Chain A
Amino acid sequence: MTGIMRKLTSAFVLMTVLAAAGLAWGDFKFPPPDFTTGYQRAPVTTPAARAHWQELLDVALMTAAMGLSAWIAFRSRRRWMMTALSLASLAYFGFWRAGCICPIGAIQNVAQGIFDPGFTVPISMLAFFVLPLVAALFFGRIFCSGVCWLGAAQDFVLIRPVRLPMWLQRALGVIPWLYLAVSVLLAATGTMYLICRYDPFVPFFRMTGPWTMLAAGAAMLGLSTFVGRPYCRFLCPYGAILGLISRVSFKGVTITPAECINCNQCREACPFGAIEPSNTVKGAPK
C-alpha cells in the first residue's frame, strides 16, 4: 500500500517538475492541436479605430465653424445665425462626436506632451488646442460664442437670466485659474485628466455615464436656466486662457457705433454681465 503511494507520489512530483519545466520553456498547458480535417483557425478580428482623415475633418469643420462665427460676430451681426451655428456645433461635436475631442480637454494632452517626453500630442489634438487661441487673438472669443458645444448646451436652457453682482462675478472668476492649475499639474504628472473626468456635460452628450456625473450635469444645466453660462464663466479653464488672450485681441465686438444712443439697455439685458459702460471699453464709440 505504502509502495503504491510512494510510486504515485514520485510520479506526481515528476509530472509537476516536468510541467513546471514546460511552462518555463514557454510551452502551453494544452498544446494547440494539429488538425487532420483541414480545419482553419480564424484570426482575431481587429476592427479599425477611427481613421486619421476623420480627425482632420473634425479640425476642418471646427476651423470653418470659427470662420463663420467670426463673420457672424463682425459682419452679419445677427443673433439667430449665431444660435443656428452653435446648434449645428452642438449636434455635431456634442452629440454626434460624443463631446470627445475638445479644446478644453486638449489642455491636458498639451500639458502632458510638454512635460512627458514619451507622450506625443496628435496633430489634430494640437490643432484643436491652438486654433481657438489664435482666433481669439484676432477676433476675441468667437470659439465660445458660436462653436463651443458646452456653451451652446448652457445657452439653450437659459430661460430667465439673473444679473450677478460684480463682486460675485469677480470672486467666482478666480475658480477657472485654480482649476486650470490643478488640471495641468495632474495631466503633466500623468495622474489623471481632471477636466475630462468631471466634465458635467459629456454624460448628456453620450446619454450615459455615472449617476454622480449625470446629477452634477443636471445641476449645472439647472443653474444655467437662470445664470448665463455658469460653466464657461466660473469653471472653464480654457475660457480663462481665452479670456486673457481676448483682452489683447486685434478686434473686439462693439455696440453698433452709428446706432448707439447710450441707453444702456443692452447692459441690463446681457445675461453674462459682459457689457460695460462705454467710457471704459476699448474701442468703444467716443
Chain B
Amino acid sequence: MSKLVVEGVSRTFPGHRGGAPTRALEPTDLRAEPNDFITILGPSGCGKSTLLRIVAGLDRPTEGRVLVDGRPVTGPGADRGMVFQSYTLFPWLTVAENIAFGLVESGRPAAERREVVARYVDRIGLRGFEHHYPRQLSGGMQQRTAIARALANDPEILLLDEPFGALDNQTRALMQELLLGIWQRDRKTVLFVTHDIEEAIFVGTRVVVMSARPGRIKTEVPVDLPYPRHYTVKTSAAFSDLKARLTEEIRVEALRASDVAAGAGGA
C-alpha cells in the first residue's frame, strides 16, 4: 500500500468581494511509497505549496482526498511533519526546547526527550547552540533546527515547503547534503517543494513538474542518480541532461505563467 495517496485533489479559492473564484490547483493525483523523496518543481503560482498544505491538513481540498496509510486526512497531525519557508521556530524557546516541542505534546518522559534532542542536535551540527534562542541563530541554523524539530517528532511523512528558499547559495548546498544524509538514515517519505531545478534533481528520487495557472502536474521524471549523493554529482553528465530537460519544461511553464500575468495585467 502506498504511504501517501493524493486522489483528484483540487483547490479553488473563493473570489474576494464578489470577484471570480481562483482555481489554484486542478484535480491532481500523486502517489508516494515509503522512502520516496519526491520533489515538486514549478514556477511560482503553480499551486505546489497549496498541494503541500493540503497534504499537511492545513488547507482543505475543494474536491478529492488525501490518504496516509489508507486513512483519509481530515486535519493536521503529528504523522505529517512540516518545514516551512518562513522561519517558524518558536522564538520564546531555545533550540533544544524547539526540537522537543512535539515530544512534550505527546507526553514523552523528560529523559527520552533529552536523549532525542541530543541526537538531533548532533545530526544537524548544532552542538553548543542548544540553549540559544532562534534570534541568535543564522537563517541556515534556524532551518536546520526546524528540520530537527519536525523529525524529532518521528512523522511518517516529512513535508518541506521551499525550506532553503531564503538561504544563500553556499548554505543552501550544504543544507541539501545535510537533509539527504538525515533522510538516508531515517528513511522517511518526503515531499519537497522547490522552484530551484538543481535542488529538485539533487535531493529527489523523483521530480514532479507542475504547470502554472491553473496548477496541475505536468510530468514526472525519475532521478536515477545513486545515493549517497555528493555535491560533485551536480557536474556529472547525467545530472546535466536531467537539468537541461527540466529547464525546458519549466521554461515553457514560466513563459505561459508570465503570459497569463501580462494578459491579466492588461485587462
> Are the chains A and B members of one assembly?
no
Residues of A in contact with B (beta carbons under 8 Å apart): none
Q: Which residues of B contact A (CB under 8 A)?
A: none
